[in-house]
Amino acid sequence: MEELAHVKFKFSKETNLGECIRVVGSHDSLGSWDPEKSIKLLTDPDTYPYWATSVLQVPLNTVIYYKYLYIKGETVIWESLPNRKLCLTQKRVVIIDTDKSYISKVFYSDFDFSKPEELFDETCSLSDSDSILILTMALPVAVSKGLNGEFEFEQTKGVWQSQLYSVLSKRKNEFLWFGLSSYKPDSEEEKERLIKTMKEQFRCVPVFIEDSLLEEHEKFCSLVLYKLLHNIIDLSIEATECSFKLWTSYKRFNILFSEQMLHYYNGQMIWVHGAQFFLVPSFMSRRTKEIMNIGFFLHHPFPSSEILRMFPYREAILHALCCCDLIGFHLFPYARNFLSCCKRVLGLSVEPTRGGYFGLNYYGRHIMVRSEHIGIQPEIIETISSSPEFLSYSHELISKYHPNRIILSIDAAHELAGISMKFKAFEQAYPKMKSKAIFIQVLVPQQTLVENAKIKDQVCQLADLINSRNNQQLIEIVQKNLTNEERYAYMKISHALLINCIKDGLCLQPFEYLVIKREKCRIALSEFAGVSTAVNSPKKINPFNVLSN
């Protein structure tokens, strides 16, 4: 008795209204080339243009030829490509074809994808015996060289990285943290000494990338990838050229980080953070024959399928993410967009599971997709707000701005921050204010080589124009990378916080402001901010409606 394989055929084809697709082949299971016995493929609005058969049984180790048929009414059109060839050696297979190529993509699985029984263990948590490799763009420990020639180290003041590093450092887990080094060694000997020192003292592994590659990677992220993730398609010539020319640099950047992590990999869990490393899960899983446990967390929004389908490398990014076991997003709308893209672009199916999670069926392997935004640690903020540095800087700011009322805004110089809209709205609202007010805009330097200097110049010019037009300083711009003590001091002396972004991932400023101000908290929050769905109390505003704001 011949052994049988369970096969599912998937075919990508945009059809005309009323047209359906069938598959027919040289074996009895595929109709023996008889169109009347051919196998029908089905689709739905979520998976179109992918069509799929039910699970079929075909013999193992047997050469089978097949074609797809386009049928409308009584008319049967055979596809014009040469006969497709199939010879299966595994028992559970998904075959993906397109109407533009007779080369098939074949996916094997140890699971029965027709009857998924995968259940996620919702009680699973990080134990003390677990070890982790963590990857972020920047390390949680900054390094510099002192006047005496010795390395000097300082923990960074990031919103979430420093908190995660502090938590892991207090636990018994073994971990290594990978990221770009803030210092460039002068020699190979100094480089090895720095790596050894940071690994032994701080459990961090600095990665060194040549400046040209780093600049090209940052340019691709800034001009193409970040805009795409925020549902923006830039059709300018510069952005279009970047999409094609710099994709190779983006891949090379991911390969170098993958190789560096694999050098230290010994069965640990892997946790990748950020859109800068979309391809790392794929490159790492390809280089080892072991089953890897990879998690990915995206700190940006995720675009709708209509936007992502315009991106020429959409399949590469989605397939790379599907090499993970867990994919995390800040908010459910971002996770929903990702699942929709996997349905429409890759033809995958989604299975809701208990606990509010979603299981993505990637050709028999089940991936958990969940949304859970990061938060803050109020006790740390309270400790900082009682420190001598905080109190001293607060008194200094009060002396400087008294008796003006302070409207505060803290942003990076980015076009999605909506800074110019804030300035115009404040200028129009100022004559109606009962007391003198000043708008303080803190421009936080971006930690990238491709900094949007054009946006920064436009913001500064607009502020100068508004101030000169009103013969007084209505707007003050502070261009400084604030320490936590300075940032919280600005929040403490302000009378209101304004967040006017057009789109963002998840801004934690409202949570910090609530802890600092307590009952005297006034927040005006853009309805397009990711955090607007997580907090209900602030006043919601439309940044595009300048007149009413």
Q: What is the pLDDT of residues 454-483, one digit of tens each?
A: 788 888 999 999 999 989 899 999 988 888
Point out which residues pair with 444 in neighbouring strands.
412
Residue 517 C-alpha from the chain's centroid: 31
Q: Which residues of 35-130 form beta strands (DSSP E)?
A: 39-41, 50-52, 56-59, 64-72, 75-78, 84-86, 92-98, 101-108
Among 108, 140, 157, identify where a domain stops: 108
Establish whether the linkage from the previous residue to 403 is cis, with ω within 30° of 0.
yes
Asked if the model's pLDDT at residue 116 lies above 60, the reply is no
Asked if the model's pLDDT at residue 152 lies above 50, the reply is yes
Residue 323 lies in a domain: yes
Q: Residue 477 has what pLDDT?
A: 92
Give 354's pLDDT tier (boundaries 50, 70, 90): low
Mean pLDDT of 213-239: 84
Which residues fall within 8 angstroms of residue 378, CB to CB, at 6 or more apart? 515
Do 172 and 275 share a structural domain?
yes
Q: Residue 160 has what pLDDT?
A: 78
Q: Reduced to 3 states, what is the DSSP secondary structure of residue 128?
A: coil
Q: Residue 319 has what pLDDT?
A: 94
- Taking alpha carbons only, the member of 258, 324, 318, 315 closest to residue 296 is 324
Residue 524 lies in a domain: yes
Residue 541's φ and ψ, nearest 5 degrees, are -130, 155
- How are beta strands 20-25 and 64-72 bridged, if at all? antiparallel
| Helix/strand/coil (H/E/C) assignment for every residue in 441-500 | EEEECCCCCCCCHHHHHHHHHHHHHHHHHCCCCCEEEEECCCCHHHHHHHHHHCCEEEEC
| Helix/strand/coil (H/E/C) assignment for every residue in 285-302 | HHHCCCCCCEEEEECCCC
Asked if the model's pLDDT at residue 516 lies above 50, the reply is yes
Do 534 and 458 share a structural domain?
yes
94 lies in which domain range?
4-108
Which residues fall within 8 angstroms of residue 219, CB to CB, at 6 or more apart? 242, 246, 449, 450
Do 402 and 326 share a structural domain?
no
Among 371, 404, 420, identify where a domain stops: 371
Do 536 and 477 share a structural domain?
yes
Do 152 and 241 share a structural domain?
yes
Asked if the model's pLDDT at residue 1 lies above 70, the reply is no
> Residue 234 and residue 94: Cα distance in Å, rounded?
36
Length of the chain: 549
Q: What is the pLDDT of residues 389-447, one digit of tens each?
A: 999 999 999 999 988 899 999 988 887 888 888 998 888 888 888 778 899 999 887 65
Residue 401 lies in a domain: yes
Do 455 and 360 share a structural domain?
no
Q: Residue 453 has what pLDDT?
A: 74
Do 367 and 384 share a structural domain?
no
Residue 126 lies in a domain: no
User: pLDDT averaged over the chain?
Assistant: 85
Q: Which helix (H) or strand (E) holds 318?
A: helix 314-321
Asked if the model's pLDDT at residue 125 lies above 70, the reply is no
Helices and strands (H and E) in the chain: how many? 16, 27
Residue 120 lies in a domain: no
Per the model's pLDDT, the better-predicted residue between 453 and 271 turns out to be 271
- Amino acid code (one letter) for 152: E
Do 355 and 249 share a structural domain?
yes
Total domains, the chain: 3
Residue 116 lies in a domain: no
Q: Residue 457 has what pLDDT?
A: 86
Place of tokens 């997003």: 329
> Residue 74 and residue 216: Cα distance in Å, rounded?
55
Where would I find the H helices in 70-229? Answer: 161-170, 188-202, 211-220, 226-229
> Residue 378 and residue 381: Cα distance in Å, rounded?
5
Q: Reduced to 3 states, what is the DSSP secondary structure of residue 143?
A: strand
Do 273 and 151 share a structural domain?
yes
Per-residue tokens: 401:
């701005």
Report the chain's terminal Cα–Cα distance, integer Å.
Answer: 76
Do 365 and 460 share a structural domain?
no
> Residue 343 and residue 275: Cα distance in Å, rounded?
20
> Residue 239 and residue 222: Cα distance in Å, rounded?
10
Do 352 and 235 share a structural domain?
yes
Asked if the model's pLDDT at residue 243 lies above 80, the reply is no
Q: Residue 168 has what pLDDT?
A: 84
Residue 94 lies in a domain: yes
For the ranges 12-26, 193-207, 228-242, 389-403, which has the lowest average pLDDT? Answer: 228-242
Among 344, 371, 398, identify where a domain stops: 371
> Residue 440 and residue 429: Cα distance in Å, rounded?
15
Domain containing 442 — which CATH number?
Answer: 3.40.50.2000
Q: What secondary structure does DSSP assign to 323-374, as a single string?
A: TSSEEEESSHHHHHHHHHHHHHHH--EEEE-GGG-EEEEETTEEEEEEE---
Q: Residue 316 has what pLDDT?
A: 94
Do 271 and 188 share a structural domain?
yes
